[in-house]
Every structure is written in structure tokens, then in C-alpha cells.
Homo-oligomer: A and B are copies of this chain.
Amino acid sequence: MADVAKLAGVSISTVSYALSGARPISEATRGRVQWAVEQLDYQPNIMARGLAGRRTGFLTLLLPTDETPADSFMIDIIVAAAEAARERGYHLLLWTEPTGESAGVKDLMRRGLIDGALLLSVRLHDDRVSALRGAGVPLTMIGRTQDTDGSHFVDSDAEQAAEVAIAHLAELGHTTVAYVGPPRSAYDDGIGIVIRIHDSLVRSAERHGLRLIPAFAERKVAASARAISELMAAEPEISAVLTLDDSAIAGVLDGLRSIDHSVPSDVSIIGLLVSPEVAEMAWPKATTVSHDPRDLGRLGVLAMIDSLDGVSDRATQFLLPSELVERSTTAPRQAASR
């Protein structure tokens, strides 16, 4: 930077201001500085900037890692977040920490490394949120807590997604619907999206006069396969199944095959909030009610940066609506015949 100043014939601080635009600089000198910068192919040192300034340009994404390995949906979020950060001149740190813990992130903040943190797999009552808030870490959630007053978040609109899915099944004439959801532990942990989807499904089903039979299955193919076959044995009138996880959909297909129910002629399936890749990989290709997971990552980062910049006086809160994408696992209900 000193070199640039010399070459441009100005002081070091002028160069700094010309580059940051933090104070008015005459056109003439700004031009000379620009020229010198290009001449020397100068790139400001990030560490020095972070040390001296009050912004480091780093964001971190807190990735819960004790859970199931990240599925496609989450991956899409992460990669999109990285891209968005890069586009806005920020750097995205991938920080793995067991669910519910945030000591590491707090340290990152105290060590002057990050400007803020993005949270994944947010619980309705999330200790991390209060801990990080208390530590003065700006944060935005991908997902959301129960009480969202004044907090920044981007989340899937569970209520709307549930309604779309249930309404579609109702239209198709289904009256008894199973829901193969995440394991009980996810409910016990109070994972926001899990609880909201469940509750919303219950409400929507009621509104449409459908009977909804929930089940819980570990996030493994075999577990959801077992869940659905047990469910079908107990409640043979089930003619449609809703699922939440990437693995659940494959498992349900598996389970139905094992008991000789064909999809979609005997049983319809709708996958909630699944990535398009996984939906396409299933056989038959799965009908879904979902949105682009990438939006969660992208908007999350943008919301974070906006809040850092203080562009808005109130918190940015996005609720992403889902769309029904009909593939090959849904059909009108058949007249009972078996």
C-alpha cells in the first residue's frame, strides 16, 4: 500500500480512503490511485485490514456434525452460501461443531476472526442463539427459533408447504395419509423445521378432513422402510405417504415394494423439502413440495451481510414458499379393492 501511495504521489491514508470510499476524495487523485493500484496489481492484506478495522470480512457457517451426515438439501444450502459470500466479497468459514454447542464459534468471535455466524438446524429453543447473542456475535438463522423477535432468519414456510401437500392429496381423493417423519430425537431436540412441519401437517389435515398418521423413523433407508410397512400393516387404508427427509423417501419406496404395494397406483408419496437431485434419483421419481434449497443459503448470507451493514432498521426475515412438483409418485386414490 505504501508502494501504491508513492507511485500515485499521495499519502498512505489517501490510498486507504480512496479504496474504501470512507471519505470524499477528489476525482483526480482517486484516478491516480486507481491507476497505481492496477499498475502494481495491488491487493490489500486481509489480515491487516481485519486487525486494524472493525470488520474482518469473515462469516462462519455452523455445521452440526454429530447428526446424520449432511444430506443433499443441506449441501445445496452450504454451497450456495459460499457462493453468495464470495460474490459479496466475504469469506465463508465452515465450522463443524456438535449440535447445540457454540463455544467454538464464540471463540472465533473473541479472537477477532468473524463478523457473524450463520446457524443451521435451528431449534425452537436454541441455546446457541442466546449464547451467541450474549457473546455479541451477530447471527442469522437458517431456520428459526420459536421467538423470532428482532432476529434475522431465512426459513422454509412449513405452514404453507404442509398446506400445499395436504391439499394436493385431498384433491386426489386420499383420505388416510401417513407421515413418515424424522426420528423422535429430532422432536425432542426441538428442531424447528421438524416440529413446524409436523404441527402444520396436523392442522392442514384437520382442515381438509384427512386422517393423518404420523410415524418416526431414523434417517436411514431401512428404518423408514420398516416404519411404512408397519404402518401399512396396522392401517391398511393408508393410500398416501408424506416424508420429510432425503433418506425417508427412498426408504418408503423400499418398504412399500417389500409389501407389494405399487407406487403410485396403490399408494401416493409426496416428499417435503427434498432436494431435486434426490427426488430425481428415486424410482419412481418423487413428487415433492419443496423450494430451491440454495435460496436458503444465498438469502441467509445476504441477510447476514445486510444486518452487518445495518441497511435496515428492522430484522430481515424471509419465509420461503414451496411449490408442488409433480413427478411420478402421486396419483388419484384407487377405489379400495384389495
Contacts and interface: CB of A to CB of B under 8 A. Distances in A.
Interface stretch (A72-80, A149-157, A191-199): A72-80
Given A220-B280, A221-B280, A63 B79 contact: yes
Nearest to A110: B43
Contacts of A314: none
A246 to B, nearest CB: 8
26 contacts: A44-B111, A45-B112, A46-B108, A46-B111, A46-B112, A47-B48, A47-B50, A48-B112, A50-B50, A63-B79, A65-B83, A69-B75, A69-B76, A70-B79, A78-B94, A79-B94, A82-B96, A86-B95, A91-B93, A92-B93, A92-B94, A221-B280, A221-B281, A247-B277, A250-B281, A257-B283
Contacts of A107: 43
Contact of A96 (B72, B83, B112, B285): B83
10 closest A-B pairs by CB: A47-B50, A250-B281, A82-B94, A47-B51, A46-B113, A45-B112, A46-B111, A43-B111, A75-B75, A221-B280
Contacts of A78: 94
A104 B92 CA distance: 14
Query: Helix, strand, loop or mixed for chain A's interface?
Result: helix
B91 A113 contact: yes
Q: Of residues A46, A63, A72, A93, which shows the largest number of chain B Cβ atoms within 10 Å of its Cβ?
A: A46
A43 B112 CA distance: 9
B111 A95 contact: no
Contacts of A221: 280-281, 285
A92 B92 CA distance: 9
A196 to B, nearest CB: 25
Nearest to A75: B75
* Stoichiometry, copies per complex: 2
A126 interface: no
A167 to B, nearest CB: 28
A56 interface: yes
Interface residues of A, number: 51
Interface string A11-50: 0000000000000000000000000000000011111101
A254 interface: yes
Nearest to A247: B281
A287 to B, nearest CB: 15
A222 B328 CA distance: 14
Nearest to A293: B69
Contacts of A72: 72
A253 interface: yes
A299 B258 CA distance: 40
A75 to B, nearest CB: 5
A202 to B, nearest CB: 28
Contacts of A285: 221
